[in-house]
């Protein structure tokens, strides 16, 4: 089991002083992931908040080899680096016992949307790498435009709540399920508030031969219109309301990692977020109900996939 004592003794591979917003959920998740890595790592980073804010010339926040890729090709970049590594090993230019792990980071824009083709191709080809999506549910870096991970009803600059539309008109895409359908060795969802869950899943992902993927919900106070210090609490609420369940898929087998003892209503997660403020007007009550209905449906579907017995699971649940 990963312990805080162990992690606290490791070097931070993402240096402080980067330009990401105070309170951003993404660097918290990335720091945990890099601390969990037990071997040297090489990183690729799609264009996005993290890339822009950690690599302002002539400075870098990365203490490891790091490649900046375009929005659409971070997965192809890390796949190419991993292929070079395997080739150099065969040529004897890298010692056979030298272990290096490969990780790509991308936001939801560079993963759910623009980079999906590149990601799908790298997964299908079977390269050994971990792809991490830090999912803040919109194109935050370029002005808070909606993406396919943006939830129904959220107000963004391209789905503004007003007289014409009440926020985004479509439900979010289930990318974790899409990746799982590629039949790769390891797929998971996590959040930075549950550090042991995230670090344990990182180690599992880096240990497999072949592709792995972790979808991490990373609250963005700027785009979600929340308090600067709210990221960790919002991540917890996303889990407790079952809007963002913690689960993993190992070699096609679904496993639920946490089930709330008392599932909280979704409005507790939505109400602190300014992007959903308009939904609490009487004329938009139906959208709130639709969001709760959709979350309940997805939760029941996940329980079935995991083979969980709702009546008996409470006694078996564990805190991550």
First CA to last CA distance, the chain: 11
Phi, psi angle pair for 306, to nearest 5°: -85, -5
* pLDDT of res. 313: 46
pLDDT for residue 312 is more than 70: no
* Averaged pLDDT of the chain: 95
Check residue 173 and give left, alpha or beta (phi > 0: left; psi -120 to 50: alpha).
beta
pLDDT tens digits for range 111-124: 999 999 999 999 99
Helix axis angle for 25-36 and 195-207, nearest 10°, is: 50
* pLDDT of res. 310: 52
Under DSSP, the state recorded for 273 is -
pLDDT for residue 61 is more than 90: yes
**Structure confidence at residue 298 as a pLDDT band (50, 70, 90):** very high
Q: How confident is the model over 249-271, as a mean pLDDT? A: 97
pLDDT for residue 267 is more than 90: yes
* pLDDT of res. 73: 97
All residues at 6 or more sequence positions from 105 whose CB lies less than 8 Å from its CB, including other chains: 30, 43, 44, 45, 46, 50, 74, 132, 134
Report CA torsion sign: 198, 111, 183, 89.
negative
Q: How confident is the model over 211-220, as a mean pLDDT? A: 98
- Give the strand order in the sheet containing 186-190: 66-69, 41-46, 101-107, 130-135, 212-217, 186-190, 247-250, 253-256
Strands 212-217 and 247-250 come out as unpaired
Stated pTM of the model: 0.95
Q: Residue 90 belongs to what domain range? A: 4-316
**Structure confidence at residue 1 as a pLDDT band (50, 70, 90):** confident
CA atoms within 13 A on the CB side of 231: 26
All residues at 6 or more sequence positions from 142 whose CB lies less than 8 Å from its CB, including other chains: 109
CA distance 84 to 68: 17
DSSP per-residue codes, 171-185: PPP-HHHHHHTT--S
pLDDT tens digits for range 187-201: 999 999 999 999 999
The more confidently predicted of residues 77 and 319 is 77
All residues at 6 or more sequence positions from 223 whose CB lies less than 8 Å from its CB, including other chains: 136, 137, 138, 140, 144, 156, 275
CA distance 78 to 87: 14
What is the total count of domains within the chain? 1
Share of the chain above pLDDT 90, in %: 95
Asked if residue 197 lies in contact with residue 238, where contact means CB atoms within 8 angstroms, the answer is no
pLDDT tens digits for range 150-188: 999 999 999 999 999 999 999 999 999 999 999 999 999
Q: How confident is the model over 40-58, as a mean pLDDT? A: 97
CATH number at residue 264: 3.40.50.970
All residues at 6 or more sequence positions from 251 whose CB lies less than 8 Å from its CB, including other chains: 185, 186
Q: How confident is the model over 49-73, as a mean pLDDT? A: 96
């Amino acid at each position: 089991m990963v312990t805080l004592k162990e992690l606290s003794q490791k070097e931070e591979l993402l240096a402080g002083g980067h330009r990401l917003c105070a309170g951003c959920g993404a660097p918290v998740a990335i720091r945990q992931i890099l601390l969990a890595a037990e071997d040297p790592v090489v990183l690729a980073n799609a264009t996005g908040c993290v890339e822009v804010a950690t690599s302002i010339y002539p400075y870098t926040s990365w203490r490891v080899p790091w490649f900046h890729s375009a929005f659409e090709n971070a997965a192809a970049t890390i796949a190419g680096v991993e292929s070079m590594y395997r080739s150099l090993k065969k040529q004897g230019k890298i010692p056979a016992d030298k272990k290096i792990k490969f990780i790509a980071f991308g936001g939801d824009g560079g993963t759910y949307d623009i980079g999906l083709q590149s990601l799908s191709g790298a997964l299908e080809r079977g390269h050994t790498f971990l792809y991490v999506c830090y999912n803040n549910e919109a194109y935050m870096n370029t002005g808070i435009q909606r993406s396919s991970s943006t939830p129904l009803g959220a107000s963004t600059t391209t789905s503004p709540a007003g007289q014409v539309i009440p926020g985004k008109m479509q439900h979010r895409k289930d990318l974790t399920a899409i990746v799982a359908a590629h039949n790769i060795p390891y797929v998971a969802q996590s959040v930075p508030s549950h550090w042991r869950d995230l670090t344990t899943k990182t180690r599992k992902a880096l240990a497999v031969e072949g592709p792995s993927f972790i979808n991490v919900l990373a609250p963005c106070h700027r785009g979600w219109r929340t308090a600067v210090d709210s990221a960790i609490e919002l991540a917890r609420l996303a889990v407790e309301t079952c809007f963002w369940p913690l689960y993993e898929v190992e070699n096609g087998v679904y496993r639920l990692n946490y089930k709330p003892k008392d599932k909280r209503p979704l409005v507790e997660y939505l109400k602190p977020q300014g992007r959903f403020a308009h939904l609490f007007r009487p004329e938009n009550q139906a959208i709130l109900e639709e969001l709760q209905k959709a979350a309940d449906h997805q939760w029941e579907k996940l329980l079935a996939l995991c083979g969980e017995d709702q009546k008996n699971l409470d006694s078996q649940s564990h805190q991550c």
